[in-house]
Amino acid sequence: MCGIVGYVGRRAAPGLLIEGLKRLEYRGYDSAGIAMSNGHGLETRKAKGKISTLESLVNGNPIHGSVGIAHTRWATHGAPNECNAHPHTDCTNTIAVVHNGIIENFGALRTMLQKQGHTFKSETDTEVLAHLIEAALDGDDPLEDAVIDALNLVQGTYGIAVISSRDPDKIVCARKGSPLLIGLGEGEFYVASDVAAILQHTRQVVYLDDGEMGILTPQGYEVLDLNARRIKKGVSRIDWSLDEIEKGGFDHFMLKEIFEQPQTIQNTMRGRLVIEEGFSKLGGLNLSKEDLQSLDQIIITACGTSWHSGLIGELYIEENARIQTETEYASEFRYRNPIVSDKSLCVVISQSGETADTLAAMREAKRRGAKTLGLVNVVGSTIAREDDGGIYLHAGPEIGVASTKAFTSQVIALALFTLKLARLRNMSVVKGREIAEAMLALPDQIQSILDHAGDVEAIADRFKDATNFLYLGRGYNFPVALEGALKLKEISYIHAEGYPAAEMKHGPIALIDEEMPVVFVAPHDAVFEKVVSNIQEVKARGGKVICITSQRESVLEGMIDHEIRVPQTIDMLYPILTVIPLQLLAYYIAVKRGLNVDQPRNLAKSVTVE
C-alpha cells in the first residue's frame, strides 16, 4: 500500500529518503512528503502527485538534517492532496508521523483530542497519531514512552515512524498489521515498509512483528514490545540484487517482469523436481508423509491474481490427488463460519506475503485447527513467518502493480505441491514423470511465445480503442480468462469480463455485436471442441474473435479474426502458456492508450489494509 522510509545516521538524509521513496513509488503515488529533524526543530515538505514533484520542491526549497522520515501515499481517509499527505505533525510542530494502515477508531479519538484543545489540519486518520503522541509526551520522557501510550489507545492497523524535535537523534517505529523492517548499517540505521527502499545501502534487516517497536539512533537500535520490554530479534540477509529492482532496459517494470518468466518459473522449479520418480521435493512444507496422506480437505485462500492461481490449484488437486478443495476469497473467508478441522490444510497465496485479508484468513484457519501452507514470494514476510510451512516462489522482486511473473510462479508452485501430494496418494510414477517432464519444457515454451510478442502488439493496436472485452475459457483455462480480463481492467481501464465459455449464452451473449472483441482461451485440450461451439456462437453475432490456441485447426478457419499460437503441452499446464499472450495484450493496449502501466490509477502493489 503506502510506502515508508526513514534514516538516522551521519549522512545528509534528504537525498537518501527521496531515493528510497522512488523505489517505493509503486506502492502508492497520490502524494508524498518528507520531515527532517535538523537539530533546531522539524522541517517538512509535502506535495500532491509523483515523487518527482516532491523532489523538485525539496531541490527548490532545501531541507536539511541527518534524521528523517518520508512517505508515499495511497489515499484511504481523505482526498489525495498536499494537506492530507504525510508526514503529519502535532499542534506544536515538534512531532512528525508517517503511517501505513487504518486507524479504525480515529473518529472517537479525534473528537476526544479536539475537546482537549487540539487543532486538526487534515482529513486523515493518521493525524490523530501525532496529536495522541503530543498529548502523551511528558517532560523529558523519551519519545518511545509517548508512542507506547498513544498506541495503547489505537484500534486498527499501523506501520508508523515518528520523529520529534524534543528527541532529535531518534526514530521510533512500530507495527501492527502493516509491514515494517529495520535496516542495519555502519553507524546508520533505516526503517522501511519494503526492503526495496533500502537495498542500495544494506542487506541486513530485522523484521518487526505485530506489537513490536523499534528505536533507532546513530549509536544503535533496539526492539521493544508495547510494554517497553526488550525483545531479541534475529537479523535476516536479503539476497535480491539491486539490478533485480531496476528496469534493465525495458520501458516498464511490467514488461520486464513478463519477459523474465522463462527464468522465474525455472527458479521456482529449481531443485524441486525429481524426474525419474515423477515427484517433487518441497522441504519447507513441514508436513509429514502421514499428514499429507490424511488430509480430507484443502482450502485455498487468496485475493486478486493470487485467487485466480488458486482456482487452477483447486483443479490440479482435485483431479490428481482426489482431495476435496475449495478456493475462497480471503476477504470473505474470514467473515463467515467455514468448515475447518485438524484434517484441513489452508493454502494461502500472496506475492507480498503481507496481503491483509489473506493474512487474516490464515490466522482464522489456524485458530480453527487447520495446518497452514504459505505460497509467497517475499522471504521474511509476515505470512512466511506465521505459516506452518511454505513454498517460496523465488520469482524475484515484482515491482509492476499488475502481477505477471508471480502468477505463473504461483501456478508452478501449486503444480509442484500437487505432484507431491498425488504421488503420495494415488498417482503412478508414469503419470508423475509425464507432468514433471512437461514442466521442465515450460521455460523454453514461454520464451517462444515472447519471441513473437510483436504479433500480440499488432492485435493491441487494432483494439486499443475498444470499450469492452469479453474473455472466455473452459476447464483449466477459465481462470486464465479471469486473469486476462483483470489485467486489461487494471492497466488499460477498459471494461472486461472473464467467463466460463459455456456460460456466455446465459447472459453475456447479449453484449456481443460488431464492436465487441471476444478473447477465447482455446488450446487443443480435452474441452477444445466445446469451446469451438462457443466461438461459432460469437461469430454468428458479429463479434471479433481473438483466439489463443495451440495448433492449426481447420475447424477454426473462417471463424477467428486474430490467432495467437502457444506451444503444445499437457492440459493442466496450458494456463502457464496461455496467460502470457494475455499479459502482453493488456500491456500493449495500455501503452498505446498512453497510460502508466506500472502505476495504474487507484491501485497499489500490496494491499495491507482491509
DSSP three-state, residue 14: helix
Do the domain assignments include residue 610? no
HSE, CB side, 13 Å, CA atoms: give it for residue 548: 29
So what's the pLDDT on residue 346? 96
Q: What is the pLDDT of residues 99-125, one digit of tens each?
A: 988 899 999 999 999 999 999 999 899
Active-site pick, 2, 173, 303, 346:
2
**What is the rounded distance in angstroms from the CA atom of residue 186 to the CA atom of residue 196?**
19
Using the 3D structure, point to which of 179, 207, 238 is the last residue of a domain. 238
Instruction: Give me the amino acid identity at 7.
Output: Y
Q: What was the pLDDT predicted at 604?
A: 56
Q: Which pLDDT score, from 0 to 100, does residue 163 have?
A: 97
Count CB neighbours of 383 within 10 A. Answer: 23
Cα separations in angstroms, 534 against 154, 502, 550, 553, 601 = 55, 7, 17, 15, 34
- Hey, which bits of 303-417 come out as E strands? 325-329, 344-350, 371-376, 389-392
Q: Which residue has the higher pLDDT, 80 or 294?
A: 294
2 catalytic? Reply is yes
> CATH number for the domain including 502?
3.40.50.10490
**Residues 211, 283: one domain?**
no
**CATH code assigned at 111:** 3.60.20.10
**606 is a domain residue:** no
- Domain-terminating residue out of 382, 412, 440: 440
* Structural domain boundaries enclosing 419: 250-440
Beta strands 517-521 and 468-473 are parallel
Average pLDDT of span 120-149 = 92
346 is catalytic: no
521/472 Cα distance (integer angstroms): 6
389, 410, 440 - which closes a domain: 440
| Strand-strand pairing, 389-392 and 230-231 | unpaired
Q: How many CB atoms lie within 10 A of CB 341?
A: 10
Q: Specify the DSSP class assigned to residue 571.
A: G
Cβ atoms of residues 352 and 381 within 8 Å: yes
Point out the catalytic residue in the list 22, 176, 256, 605: 605
Whether the per-residue pLDDT at 138 is higher than 80: the answer is yes
Do 226 and 260 lie in one domain? The reply is: no
Mean pLDDT of the chain: 90
For residue 481, being part of any structural domain is answered with yes
Average pLDDT of the residues in 65-89: 84
pLDDT score recorded for residue 111? 95
Count of domains observed in the chain: 3
What is residue 1's predicted lDDT score, i.e. its pLDDT? 58
275 and 227 in a common domain:
no
Cα(599)–Cα(510) distance, integer angstroms = 33
pLDDT at position 438 over 90: yes
Picking from 293, 509, 527, 541, the residue whose alpha carbon sits closest to that of residue 420 is 293
Of all helices (H) and strands (E), which one includes residue 336? none
| CA distance linking residue 18 with residue 51, whole number of Å | 8
Task: Please check whether residues 153 and 290 belong to one and the same domain.
Answer: no
Which secondary-structure segment (H or E) carries 100? strand 95-100
Domain match, 317 and 382 both? yes
Query: Is residue 607 included in any domain, yes or no?
Result: no
Pair 190, 279 in one domain: no
| 230 and 324, same domain (yes or no) | no
pLDDT band at 22 (very low <50, low <70, confident <90, very high): confident
pLDDT in tens, 344-397: 999 999 998 988 899 999 999 999 999 999 999 988 888 999 999 999 999 988
* DSSP class of 543: P
Rounded to 5 degrees, what angle do the CA atoms 182, 183, 184 make?
120
C-alpha cell at 593: 492508450
Q: Are residues 205 and 343 in the same domain?
A: no
- State the cell numbers at 446: 514461454
Q: Clarify whether residues 453 and 434 are in a common domain.
A: no
Confidence of residue 578 (pLDDT cuts 50, 70, 90): very high
Can you read off the three cell numbers belonging to residue 467?
470499450
Reference 349, options 320, 312, 306; nearest CA is 306
The span from the CA of 483 to the CA of 488, in Å, is 9
Tens digits of residue pLDDT in 515-565: 889 999 999 888 878 888 888 887 878 788 999 998 777 777 778 889 999
* 561 occurs within a structural domain: yes
25-37 average pLDDT score = 80
Compare 81 and 27 and report the one with higher pLDDT. Answer: 81
DSSP string, 207-271: EPPTTEEEEEETTEEEEEETTS-EE----EE----GGGGS-TT-SSHHHHHHHTHHHHHHHHHTT
Interval 164-214: pLDDT, tens: 999 999 999 999 988 899 999 999 999 999 888 898 899 999 999 999 999
Are 233 and 121 part of one and the same domain? yes
Whether residues 473 and 358 fall in one domain: no
Cα 276 to Cα 288: distance, rounded to the nearest angstrom? 22
Going by pLDDT thresholds of 50, 70 and 90, the confidence category of residue 73 is: confident
Answer whether 584's CB lies under 8 Å from 457's CB. Answer: yes
Residue 246: exposed, middle, or buried by beta-carbon count in 10 A (0-12, 13-18, 19+)?
Answer: middle
Share of residues in the chain with pLDDT > 70 (%): 96
Q: Kindly state whether residues 472 and 564 are assigned to the same domain.
A: yes
